[in-house]
Amino acid sequence: MTQSITIEQVNLLDLPSMPFRKKGKLPELACIYFVFCSQDSLLYIGRTVNLKNRWLHHHRYRDLVNYGTTRIAWMEVSIHELEGIERKMISHFNPVLNDKSYDAAQGEQEIKDIVDTLARHKREIDSMTKMLALVQENRRLRKENESLKNWMNSVIAVAKLAPSAQNSSHPESSLIASC
Protein backbone atom coordinates (compact mmCIF):
# COMPACT_ATOMS: atom_id res chain seq x y z
CA MET A 1 0.00 0.00 0.00
CA THR A 2 1.55 3.27 -1.00
CA GLN A 3 1.23 6.47 0.98
CA SER A 4 -1.04 7.99 -1.70
CA ILE A 5 -3.83 5.45 -1.06
CA THR A 6 -6.04 6.02 1.96
CA ILE A 7 -7.82 3.30 3.88
CA GLU A 8 -11.17 4.70 2.74
CA GLN A 9 -10.15 3.99 -0.87
CA VAL A 10 -9.46 0.30 -0.22
CA ASN A 11 -12.30 -1.96 -1.36
CA LEU A 12 -11.79 -5.17 0.61
CA LEU A 13 -13.99 -7.17 -1.74
CA ASP A 14 -11.70 -6.32 -4.68
CA LEU A 15 -8.55 -7.66 -2.98
CA PRO A 16 -7.06 -11.00 -4.05
CA SER A 17 -8.54 -13.79 -1.96
CA MET A 18 -8.69 -17.53 -1.56
CA PRO A 19 -11.25 -19.92 -0.05
CA PHE A 20 -10.48 -20.69 3.58
CA ARG A 21 -10.27 -24.43 2.92
CA LYS A 22 -7.31 -23.78 0.56
CA LYS A 23 -5.25 -21.90 3.15
CA GLY A 24 -2.26 -24.14 2.39
CA LYS A 25 -2.03 -22.53 -1.06
CA LEU A 26 -1.84 -18.95 0.15
CA PRO A 27 1.08 -16.88 -1.18
CA GLU A 28 4.23 -16.39 0.87
CA LEU A 29 4.31 -12.60 1.22
CA ALA A 30 4.17 -9.79 3.76
CA CYS A 31 0.65 -8.44 3.95
CA ILE A 32 -2.36 -7.31 5.87
CA TYR A 33 -4.97 -10.08 5.65
CA PHE A 34 -8.73 -9.98 6.01
CA VAL A 35 -10.93 -12.93 6.96
CA PHE A 36 -14.53 -12.97 5.75
CA CYS A 37 -17.46 -15.20 6.62
CA SER A 38 -19.80 -16.62 4.00
CA GLN A 39 -21.89 -13.42 3.86
CA ASP A 40 -18.75 -11.33 3.12
CA SER A 41 -18.82 -9.89 6.64
CA LEU A 42 -15.36 -8.99 7.85
CA LEU A 43 -14.42 -11.03 10.91
CA TYR A 44 -10.71 -10.45 11.44
CA ILE A 45 -7.76 -8.37 10.28
CA GLY A 46 -4.17 -9.39 10.87
CA ARG A 47 -0.62 -8.81 9.66
CA THR A 48 2.13 -11.21 8.73
CA VAL A 49 5.50 -11.39 7.05
CA ASN A 50 4.47 -14.71 5.44
CA LEU A 51 0.76 -15.28 4.80
CA LYS A 52 1.00 -18.98 4.02
CA ASN A 53 3.01 -19.80 7.15
CA ARG A 54 0.77 -17.64 9.32
CA TRP A 55 -2.32 -19.63 8.39
CA LEU A 56 -0.82 -23.07 8.85
CA HIS A 57 -1.36 -22.74 12.63
CA HIS A 58 -3.36 -19.56 13.24
CA HIS A 59 -4.55 -18.94 16.82
CA ARG A 60 -7.99 -17.80 15.58
CA TYR A 61 -8.57 -20.79 13.31
CA ARG A 62 -11.21 -22.45 15.57
CA ASP A 63 -13.05 -19.17 16.11
CA LEU A 64 -13.14 -18.56 12.38
CA VAL A 65 -14.32 -22.06 11.50
CA ASN A 66 -17.20 -21.62 13.96
CA TYR A 67 -18.27 -18.55 11.99
CA GLY A 68 -18.42 -20.50 8.75
CA THR A 69 -15.47 -18.60 7.30
CA THR A 70 -15.17 -18.85 3.57
CA ARG A 71 -12.21 -16.77 2.44
CA ILE A 72 -9.02 -14.89 3.25
CA ALA A 73 -8.14 -11.72 1.32
CA TRP A 74 -4.84 -9.89 1.46
CA MET A 75 -3.16 -6.65 0.63
CA GLU A 76 0.58 -6.82 0.11
CA VAL A 77 2.58 -4.21 2.05
CA SER A 78 6.20 -3.73 3.03
CA ILE A 79 7.32 -5.31 6.28
CA HIS A 80 8.00 -1.84 7.73
CA GLU A 81 4.39 -0.71 7.15
CA LEU A 82 2.65 -3.81 8.56
CA GLU A 83 1.96 -2.73 12.13
CA GLY A 84 0.81 0.82 11.31
CA ILE A 85 -1.48 -0.20 8.47
CA GLU A 86 -2.95 -3.11 10.45
CA ARG A 87 -3.79 -0.80 13.37
CA LYS A 88 -5.45 1.72 11.02
CA MET A 89 -7.42 -1.01 9.22
CA ILE A 90 -8.68 -2.50 12.49
CA SER A 91 -9.65 0.94 13.75
CA HIS A 92 -11.47 1.75 10.50
CA PHE A 93 -13.26 -1.57 9.87
CA ASN A 94 -13.65 -2.73 13.52
CA PRO A 95 -13.93 -6.51 12.85
CA VAL A 96 -15.61 -8.52 15.61
CA LEU A 97 -12.70 -10.87 16.33
CA ASN A 98 -10.20 -8.01 16.67
CA ASP A 99 -12.32 -6.50 19.42
CA LYS A 100 -10.39 -7.00 22.65
CA SER A 101 -13.65 -7.48 24.53
CA TYR A 102 -14.57 -10.43 22.29
CA ASP A 103 -14.53 -13.63 24.29
CA ALA A 104 -13.95 -16.76 22.22
CA ALA A 105 -15.75 -18.87 24.83
CA GLN A 106 -18.74 -16.54 24.54
CA GLY A 107 -18.71 -16.95 20.76
CA GLU A 108 -18.51 -20.73 21.08
CA GLN A 109 -21.41 -20.68 23.56
CA GLU A 110 -23.49 -18.58 21.15
CA ILE A 111 -22.83 -21.11 18.41
CA LYS A 112 -23.72 -24.03 20.73
CA ASP A 113 -26.96 -22.25 21.67
CA ILE A 114 -27.84 -21.81 17.99
CA VAL A 115 -27.07 -25.48 17.27
CA ASP A 116 -29.21 -26.55 20.26
CA THR A 117 -32.08 -24.36 19.06
CA LEU A 118 -31.82 -25.80 15.54
CA ALA A 119 -31.77 -29.35 16.95
CA ARG A 120 -34.90 -28.59 19.04
CA HIS A 121 -36.67 -27.17 15.98
CA LYS A 122 -35.67 -30.23 13.97
CA ARG A 123 -37.19 -32.51 16.64
CA GLU A 124 -40.37 -30.42 16.58
CA ILE A 125 -40.53 -30.60 12.79
CA ASP A 126 -39.93 -34.36 12.88
CA SER A 127 -42.74 -34.74 15.42
CA MET A 128 -45.09 -32.62 13.29
CA THR A 129 -44.18 -34.64 10.21
CA LYS A 130 -45.10 -37.85 12.05
CA MET A 131 -48.39 -36.30 13.21
CA LEU A 132 -49.17 -35.21 9.65
CA ALA A 133 -48.49 -38.74 8.41
CA LEU A 134 -50.88 -40.11 11.07
CA VAL A 135 -53.58 -37.60 10.08
CA GLN A 136 -53.21 -38.58 6.42
CA GLU A 137 -53.37 -42.28 7.32
CA ASN A 138 -56.47 -41.60 9.43
CA ARG A 139 -58.16 -39.85 6.48
CA ARG A 140 -57.25 -42.73 4.18
CA LEU A 141 -58.68 -45.28 6.65
CA ARG A 142 -61.88 -43.24 7.08
CA LYS A 143 -62.38 -43.18 3.31
CA GLU A 144 -61.70 -46.91 3.14
CA ASN A 145 -64.11 -47.50 6.03
CA GLU A 146 -66.75 -45.38 4.27
CA SER A 147 -66.27 -47.42 1.10
CA LEU A 148 -66.66 -50.65 3.08
CA LYS A 149 -69.83 -49.34 4.76
CA ASN A 150 -71.27 -48.43 1.35
CA TRP A 151 -70.41 -51.88 0.02
CA MET A 152 -71.98 -53.58 3.06
CA ASN A 153 -75.11 -51.46 2.72
CA SER A 154 -75.33 -52.48 -0.93
CA VAL A 155 -74.96 -56.14 0.00
CA ILE A 156 -77.63 -55.80 2.69
CA ALA A 157 -79.97 -54.04 0.27
CA VAL A 158 -79.51 -56.82 -2.29
CA ALA A 159 -80.15 -59.41 0.42
CA LYS A 160 -83.37 -57.71 1.45
CA LEU A 161 -84.55 -57.58 -2.17
CA ALA A 162 -83.85 -61.25 -2.80
CA PRO A 163 -84.96 -63.27 0.26
CA SER A 164 -84.97 -66.46 -1.79
CA ALA A 165 -81.22 -66.11 -2.33
CA GLN A 166 -80.68 -67.23 1.27
CA ASN A 167 -81.86 -70.74 0.35
CA SER A 168 -79.80 -70.85 -2.81
CA SER A 169 -76.87 -73.21 -3.30
CA HIS A 170 -74.65 -70.43 -4.70
CA PRO A 171 -71.52 -69.54 -2.63
CA GLU A 172 -72.56 -65.90 -2.53
CA SER A 173 -75.78 -66.82 -0.74
CA SER A 174 -73.88 -67.63 2.47
CA LEU A 175 -72.28 -64.18 2.38
CA ILE A 176 -75.65 -62.52 1.86
CA ALA A 177 -77.17 -64.63 4.62
CA SER A 178 -74.43 -63.63 7.06
CA CYS A 179 -75.20 -59.95 6.52
Q: Say whether both 79 and 128 belong to one domain.
A: no
**pLDDT score recorded for residue 108:** 66
Q: Say whether both 87 and 148 belong to one domain.
A: no
Residue 22 lies in a domain: yes
* Structure confidence by residue, pLDDT tens digits, 134-169: 999 999 999 999 999 999 998 888 888 876 555 555
Residue 120 lies in a domain: yes
3-state secondary structure of 28: coil
* Structure confidence by residue, pLDDT tens digits, 27-51: 999 999 999 987 788 989 999 999 9
119 to 67, 116, 132: CA distances (angstroms): 18, 5, 20
Count Cβ atoms within 10 A of the Cβ of residue 64 and give its class: 0-12 exposed, 13-18 middle, 19 or more buried. buried
Q: Rounded to 5 degrees, what angle do the CA atoms 74, 79, 84 make?
A: 80
Tally of domains within the chain: 2
Q: Say whether both 127 and 67 belong to one domain.
A: no
Residue-number span of the structural domain to which 92 is assigned: 7-99
* Structure confidence by residue, pLDDT tens digits, 90-135: 999 999 888 765 555 556 666 776 777 888 888 899 999 999 999 9
Q: Say whether both 71 and 142 belong to one domain.
A: no
- The more confident residue out of 119 and 175 is 119
Q: Say whether both 32 and 87 belong to one domain.
A: yes
Please determine, for residue 1, whether its predicted confidence score (pLDDT) is greater than 50.
Answer: no
Residue 2 lies in a domain: no
Q: Say whether both 16 and 80 belong to one domain.
A: yes
